[in-house]
Structure 1
Amino acid sequence: MKTERPRVAIQGIRASFHEEAAFKYFGEEIHTIECNSFKQTFEALQNKEADYVVMAIENSIAGSILPNYSLLLSYTFPVVGEVYVPIQLHLMALPGVRFENIKYVTSHPIAIRQCIDFFDEYPHLKIVESNDTAACAKRIRDEQLDDTVAIANTLAAKLYGLDVLERRIESNKKNFTRFLILTTHENVKKKKANKASLCFQVSNEVGALAKVLNIFAQENVNMSKIQSMPVLGKRNEYNFYVDIEWNDTKNYDAAIRQILKYTHNFNILGEYERFEEDPTPPLLKSEKPKRYINIKKLDQN
């Protein structure tokens, strides 16, 4: 019996890095729900217009996406998984366009900053910022812009029929984004969990947070991340977002029972399987990216 394709809400349009993350987690047989903002993805889930949300939560270079932590607490949808995607950025244009005729480069501002070393070599190019990498590729296709290149992923080049002029132009080749998978409580499927995302507050006194962290250590539970956010409208009060991992569920259960004594407004945002795949793409292990643009030839022109 054929099952219905899951409806997955993403921030951005098709062929964005969010859709790439969705493909990596669910496979390509999904129905992508395009949203203009992260809040809209949660609204789509709340209104039953989507079955899942895929949301970026941190990047290895840019750091945590702080507003998205607030969304986790505001909507209380459970986290049911995670996936890491290597951010590989390529330069793409309409078929037949030559790089020496390019005047404009367009992409998301974070993607542009991650490629700054490449564009230092071409100071004559004008940078145009946009709100989505894939949307830039789509605009080049839709408006037939023959003087503009986009910075995006290979999905965008394939979907919108663009040629890749230069591969892997990002300055740091070990750049990854972590995405969380969320759903409604009724869609949660029981899986063997070995990772959890928590949120809690502690009293504003000496050693209050240390007591909680020591419990994790004593119970052999690894804390893989901690992020603090001020509690809106309350001075010197913070929400602590913590990711923890364990090998034995008994250790996790024991740790949770103990830390409840030292925290308030405690929430388990989700219990799920940690991402185990080696996120380092083969290119980083064995070879350097191939250059397609002859810089000396361009200088001579």
Structure 2
Amino acid sequence: MKTKTRVAIQGIKASFHEEAAYKFFGRDIETVECNSFKQTCDVLDENKADFVVMAIENSIAGSLLPNYTLIREYNFAVVGEVYLPIQLHLLALPGVKFEDIKIATSHPIAIRQCVDFFEEFPQIQVIEGNDTAACAKKIKDNQLKDTVAIANALAAETYGLDIIERRIESNKKNFTRFLILRKDKTEVEKGINKASICFQVGHHVGALSQVLQIFAELNVNLTKIQSMPVLGRRNEYYFYVDIEWKSIENYDTAIRKVLKFTVNFNIMGEYVKNDKV
């Protein structure tokens, strides 16, 4: 019998990480719930999961910088990406009406993304929780009739709650990008057209621009560049770069040339671009 693909997620069932996992792999998976991003890496490292789905950037909150460090330190392969629109709803027990609500609870970032809505209803006390889905589960488990959770539609479906107000997020174009991680770096998909790489450059003038110029000359498009200080080393940085290309030959040539101008160069993963929201 074929065993289900095991996917480690940060958070519990019906969190945005599980929704992203469903979008990438389909519903026929086994999600492995973890309390932290580091725990998802440990689970993958110990072969207790086949993949990790890890948030890497949000269109409002920006990059999740510690996650870049985790991917590099565990030396996992980035094998895919998925973009998820962040749609936030008010979830309550069946039968609860809006006027019954005294408390709204969710993850602090989700709360911040709904400030405009709650300014209109100052009578609702907003309380921070540790996870959007966990707040929904608590309402179900404790039968809280005066409390709503700010969470996704998957949480409503999973925990048997009603959506009493839809799309309360302030920015309707908010999305999160997730990376799909695997332990083994050897196997590469056909049709790859995107890569995530990491490197350092020397201290001389124009060191980084030399690298960027090589990509430009070979029509390799930079879609993201992120710098992070090297721990304990003054004025030294890791650069995390996402690149896309139309010609695999141009990409191969660019990588060969870039190697001469970088140190600690690492191809974190080569995969198929998947930016549909």
- TM-score bucket (shorter structure): over 0.9
What residue in structure 2 maps to residue 47 of structure 1?
Answer: 46
Counterpart amino acid of residue 180 in structure 2: I
Structure 2: tracts of 5 or more residues without a match: none
Quote the Cα distance in structure 2 between the aligned partners of 1:95 and 1:29.
Answer: 28
Match of 1:292 in 2: none
> RMSD in angstroms over aligned alpha carbons?
1.1
Alpha carbons of 1:133 and 1:246: their partners in 2 closer, same or farther (altered >3 Å)? same
The answer on whether the counterparts of 1:80 and 1:188 sit within 8 Å (CA) in structure 2 is no
Matched, 1:108 2:107: yes
State whether residues 81 and 275 of structure 2, in contact with CA within 8 Å, keep that contact through their aligned partners in structure 1.
no
Equivalence map 1:40-119=2 (5 Å): 40-119=39-118
Native 8 Å contact 1:10 1:19 kept in 2:
yes
What residue in structure 2 maps to residue 287 of structure 1?
Answer: none
SS at match of 1:123: coil
Asked whether the equivalents of residues 189 and 272 of structure 2 are also in contact (C-alpha less than 8 Å), the reply is: no
**Pairs within 5 Å for 1:225-240:** 225-240=224-239
Q: What whole-Å deviation, never above 9, does each CA across 1:182-202 have from its counterpart, x for those lacking one? A: 012178453321000000000
Matched to 2:115, the amino acid is I
Is the 8 Å Cα contact of residues 9 and 41 (structure 1) preserved in structure 2? yes
Equivalent positions of 1:114-263 (< 5 A) are 114-185=113-184, 188=187, 190-263=189-262
Match of 1:274 in 2: 273
| Structure 1 gap segments, 5+ residues each | 280-301
Give the distance between the partners of 1:262 and 1:141, measured in 2 at CA.
Answer: 57
The answer to whether the aligner puts 1:20 opposite 2:19 as a matched pair is yes
The 8 Å contact of residues 193 and 246 in structure 2, kept in 1 or not, is answered as: yes
Instruction: With the length of structure 1 as denominator, give the TM-score of the two structures.
Output: 0.90
Query: Which has the larger share of strand?
Result: 2
Equivalent residues of 2:10, 2:35 under 8 A apart:
yes
Whether the aligned pair in 1 keeps the contact of 2:189 and 2:271 (CA below 8 Å) is no
TM-superposed deviation, 1:124: 1.8
C-alpha deviation, 1:211, in angstroms: 0.4
Task: Decide whether aligned partners of structure 1 residues 188 and 7 sit closer, same or farther in structure 2, where only a CA change above 3 A counts.
Answer: farther
Spell out, residue by residue over 1:229-268, the C-alpha distance to the aligned partner (whole angstroms, 9 max, x if none). Answer: 0000000000000000001100100100001010000000
Instruction: Answer whether contact 2:188 2:271 (CA < 8 A) is retained.
Output: no
1:167: Cα distance to partner?
Answer: 0.4
1:156 shift after superposition: 0.2
Deviations 1:254-287 (A, max 9, x none): 100001010000000000001043x2xxxxxxxx
Aligned residues: 277
Structure 2 CA distance, aligned partners of 1:212 and 1:118? 46
Question: Are the equivalent residues in 2 in contact too, given 1:221–1:252 (CA < 8 A)?
Answer: yes
Whether the 8 Å contact between 2:55 and 2:179 is mirrored in structure 1 is yes
Amino acid corresponding to residue 72 of structure 2 in structure 1: L
Letter of the structure 2 residue corresponding to residue 75 of structure 1: Y
For 2:107, give the aligned amino acid: H
For residues 62 and 116 of structure 1, what CA distance do their matches in structure 2 show? Answer: 14
Please give the alpha-carbon distance, in whole angstroms, between the structure 2 residues aligned to 1:186 and 1:227. Answer: 22
Cα deviation digits, residues 195-237 of structure 1 (max 9, x gap):
0000000012211100000000000000000000000000000
One-letter amino acid of the counterpart of residue 156, structure 1: A
Give the distance between the partners of 1:276 and 1:150, measured in 2 at CA: 29
Task: Find the aligned partners of 2:106 and 2:73 in 1 and give their Cα distance.
Answer: 30
Normalised TM-score (structure 2): 0.98
Are the equivalent residues in 2 in contact too, given 1:51–1:187 (CA < 8 A)?
no
The secondary structure found in structure 2 opposite 1:185 is coil
- What letter corresponds to residue 239 of structure 2 in structure 1? F
CA contact (8 A) 1:39 1:71 kept: yes
Contact 1:10 1:18 (8 Å CA) reproduced: yes
Match of 1:298 in 2: none
1:27-56: CA deviation from partner (whole Å, max 9, x where unpaired): 000000000000000000011100000000
Contact 2:229-2:235 within 8 A present in 1 as well: yes
